[in-house]
Structure 1
Amino acid sequence: MRVLITGSNGLLGQKLVALLRQLPDVELVATSRGRNKLAQLYPDVRFVLLDVTNQQQVEDVVAQEQPTHLIHTAAMTNVDECELNQESCWQQNVTAVEYLVAACVAHGVHLTHVSTDFVFSGEAGPLAEDALPAPINFYGKSKLAAERVVQASSTAWVIVRTVLVYGTAHEYGRTNIVLWVRDSLRAHKQIKVVDDQFRTPTLAEDLAQGCWLAAKHNASGIYHISSNELFTPYQMALQVADYFQLDKSLISRVDGSTFSQPAKRPPRTGFIISKAQQELGYQPHDFWDGIALLARQTE
C-alpha cells in the first residue's frame, strides 16, 4: 500500500512518518506546506510540498502520487486561535477536507480523517462513537463540519477521533502538559492547573498507531482513539510531579473559570475505546508509561 500523510511536520504527522517508514509493505509519501523538518532524520522518506487549502495542489499531488491511502492530520488545532480567526479555521479544517475528499473520490483513495473530542459538549464523558455531537466552540464546530463532509462522500473513509494529545517531536514549537509541568516545577515555578475538566489523554505514538491500524484494516465508520484512563489536568500534573520526583506543592488546583480564554472548553469528555481495541487491535500506553516515554525522548 502507498500511504500519503498530510501535515507531516506536525506532532501526529511526525509520529506517523517514524512508524510507517519502518514497515516493508508501505510506500510512504510525507507532505506538508512548509519545509520538510524530517529531511535530516529520515532522508529516505519521499516528501512533497502540499498546502491542503490549495485545491489545485491537492488534486495535483494526489494525482501524481497515486496513494492507496491518505491519512489527513493537517489542521488548525489551537482552540483559542480558531475562536479568534474563524475564517482561517474554517478554511484549514473544513474547506481543505472538501478538497481532499474530492481528490480521494476521483482517485479511489481510502481516507483516514483525524477528528477530536471537542465535537462534543462535554456533559457526559467518557463517550462512545455513537454519542451525539454538540460542539461548544468554533474549533469543535469546524471539526464536526469536516466529519460530515467525510461522511457524505462516496470515497472509502474512516474517522479517528482523539483526546488531548501529548508528545514531543523534532523542531516542534508547541509544548504539552507533561513537559510544561515538568519544566515549570524544575524551575520552581508555581502553576495553576484545572481540576474540573476530564480527559483521556492520548500519547502521540498511540494516536499514530490507531491511525495506521484504521488505514491498514481499510476500516470504515468512526473510532475513538485515546488512553482508557480518565483524568483531570490537575491529576495528570500530580503524576508528572511524582514521576520526575518534583515538588507537588507548587501545583495549585483551580477550576476553569480561573482562566479567561476566548473558547469554551467541554468540561467532561474522554473516550470509551473498546471498539478500537476489539476491531483494530489498538492497545494504548497508560499515562505513567507515556510520561516515561517522553522522559526517554527528552532527557
Structure 2
Amino acid sequence: MKIAITGSNGLLGQTLVNLLLKESEKYQVIGLSRGKNRSGRDDFEYVNIDVTNEDELKKCLFRIQPDFIVNTAAMTNVDACEDEKENCDLLNVEAVRFLTQISKELKAHLIHISTDFIFDGTQGYYKETDKPNPLSYYGLSKLKSETVLTNSTIDYTILRTILVYGIVHDLGRNNIVLWVRDMLKENKEITIVNDQFRMPTYVEDLAIACKMSIDKRAKGIFNISSNKLLSIYEIARQIADAFDLNKDLIMPISTSTLNQKAARPAKTGFDLSKTNKELGFYPKSFEEDLVRFKETLP
C-alpha cells in the first residue's frame, strides 16, 4: 500500500513514518513536508512541498497515486491562530479542501487529525457524536476541516486527539511532558493551571491509531487519547513522579490569571467506547504511557 503522509516532519508525521517503515514490505511511505527531511532516515521517498499550494500538491499526489493520504500537517499554536487567522485557515482548512478533492479524483482514503478544541469544555468525556462548539479560532478551523470531510463523498477517517506529546529525531516544537521535565530538571518553579482537564495522548498511540485506520480501512470519526481525565496540574505532577523530579516546584494557578489570547475549553476528555469497539484500540492511562515514553528517551 502506498501511504502519503503530509506534515511528515512533525511529531506525529515522523512517528508514523517510523512505525510504517517497520513493515516496509507492506507499506510504501512517501513523506511530504516543508524544508529538508528532518526524520533522520533516508529509506523512504521525501518531497519538500508546501501543502497550501494546490497545484503543487495535486501534481505531487497524482504522480505518487497513494492508496491512503494521512494529513498530519496543521497550525496548532492556539494563540498564534487567533493572530494569524488567514494562515490558520490556509493550512487547517484550505489544504484539507485540496486534499479532499485530490482524494476524490484518486479514489484515495484520507485520514485527518482533529482536536478536542472543537468542543467548549462544559461537559467532558465527549463522544464522537456530541455537538461541537469551539471557543478559539484554532478549534473553529479544525471544525471547518472536519466539515469539509463529512460533507464529502470520499472515504475518510477523522482522528480527534488531545494534548499530544512524545519525542522524535528532530523535534520542531516542544510539548508538555518534555517542557515540564526540562524545567524541573533545572530546579525551576513552574505555574500550571489546575482548572483545565485533559486526557493527554502519547504520539506512539496516535500513530498506531493511524495505522489501524489504514489496516481496517476504518471510516468515520474516532477519539484517540489516554483513558483518564486529569487536571493539567495533575498531569504535571505525574510527569514529575515519572522522572523522579521535585513536584513541589509545580505551583497551581487558575486559567483566568493567564490572560491567554485564545479561550481554552475547561474540561474535554473523550468517551473511548467507539474506539475500543470499532478500531479495537484500548488506550492506557497517562501514568502507564509515561513509563513507555520514558523508556524511549536517551
Per the TM superposition, whether the score is higher than 0.5 is yes
Q: Distance in 1 between matches of 2:16 and 2:137?
A: 27
Q: Distance in 2 between matches of 1:217 and 1:57?
A: 30
Q: How does 1:80-159 map to 2 (within 5 A)?
A: 80-159=79-158
Give the stretch that moved more between structures: 245-254 or 97-106.
245-254
Q: How does 1:187-198 map to 2 (within 5 A)?
A: 187-198=186-197
* Contact residue 199 and residue 286 of structure 2 kept, 8 A: no
Q: Which residue of 2 aligns with 1:12?
A: 12
Q: CA deviation at 1:232?
A: 0.9
Q: Which residue of 2 aligns with 1:168?
A: 167
Q: CA deviation at 1:296?
A: 2.9
In the alignment, residue 25 of structure 1 is paired with which amino acid?
K
Q: Distance in 1 between matches of 2:218 and 2:290?
A: 30
2:243 corresponds to 1:244: yes
In the alignment, residue 92 of structure 1 is paired with which amino acid?
L
In the alignment, residue 26 of structure 1 is paired with which amino acid?
Y
Q: CA deviation at 1:286?
A: 2.4
In the alignment, residue 173 of structure 2 is paired with which amino acid?
R
* Contact residue 120 and residue 265 of structure 2 kept, 8 A: yes
Q: Deviations over 1:27-46 (max 9, x none)?
A: 111111221112xx322111
* Contact residue 203 and residue 285 of structure 1 kept, 8 A: no
In the alignment, residue 17 of structure 2 is paired with which amino acid?
V
Q: Deviations over 1:39-91 (max 9, x none)?
A: xx322111122211000011111100000011100010100110110010000
Query: Secondary structure at the residue paired with 1:77?
Result: coil
In the alignment, residue 28 of structure 2 is paired with which amino acid?
E
Q: CA deviation at 1:101?
A: 0.6
In the alignment, residue 136 of structure 1 is paired with which amino acid?
L
Q: How does 1:5-84 map to 2 (within 5 A)?
A: 5-23=5-23, 24-38=25-39, 41-84=40-83
Q: Distance in 2 between matches of 1:207 and 1:234?
A: 23
Query: Secondary structure at the residue paired with 2:296?
Result: helix
In the alignment, residue 194 of structure 1 is paired with which amino acid?
V
Query: Secondary structure at the residue paired with 2:223?
Result: strand
Q: Deviations over 1:114-138 (max 9, x none)?
A: 1000010111011110110000100
In the alignment, residue 15 of structure 1 is paired with which amino acid?
T
* Contact residue 86 and residue 138 of structure 1 kept, 8 A: yes
Q: Distance in 2 between matches of 1:25 and 1:297?
A: 25
Q: Deviations over 1:228-249 (max 9, x none)?
A: 1111111011111112222121
Q: Deviations over 1:107-160 (max 9, x none)?
A: 100001110000101110111101100001000000000100011112111111
In the alignment, residue 138 of structure 2 is paired with which amino acid?
Y
Q: CA deviation at 1:279?
A: 1.0
TM-score, length of structure 1 as denominator length? 0.96
* Contact residue 164 and residue 203 of structure 2 kept, 8 A: yes
Give the stretch that moved more between structures: 176-185 or 101-110.
176-185
Give the stretch that moved more between structures: 168-177 or 270-279.
168-177
TM-score, length of structure 2 as denominator length? 0.97
Q: How does 1:224-239 map to 2 (within 5 A)?
A: 224-239=223-238
Q: Deviations over 1:145-184 (max 9, x none)?
A: 0100011112111111101101112221322221111111
Q: How many residues align?
A: 297
| Percent pairwise identity | 44
Q: Distance in 2 between matches of 1:124 and 1:88?
A: 30
Q: Distance in 2 between matches of 1:245 and 1:158?
A: 39
Q: Which residue of 2 aligns with 1:280?
A: 279
* Contact residue 158 and residue 214 of structure 1 kept, 8 A: yes
Query: Secondary structure at the residue paired with 2:198?
Result: coil
Q: Which runs of 5+ in 1 are unaligned?
A: none
* Contact residue 2 and residue 68 of structure 1 kept, 8 A: yes
Q: Distance in 1 between matches of 2:47 and 2:172?
A: 22
2:213 corresponds to 1:214: yes
Q: Distance in 2 between matches of 1:177 and 1:259?
A: 17
Q: CA deviation at 1:201?
A: 0.5
In the alignment, residue 63 of structure 2 is paired with which amino acid?
Q
Q: CA deviation at 1:192?
A: 0.5
* Contact residue 51 and residue 57 of structure 2 kept, 8 A: yes
In the alignment, residue 194 of structure 2 is paired with which amino acid?
D
Query: Secondary structure at the residue paired with 1:246?
Result: coil
* Contact residue 206 and residue 285 of structure 1 kept, 8 A: no
Q: Distance in 2 between matches of 1:85 and 1:158?
A: 27
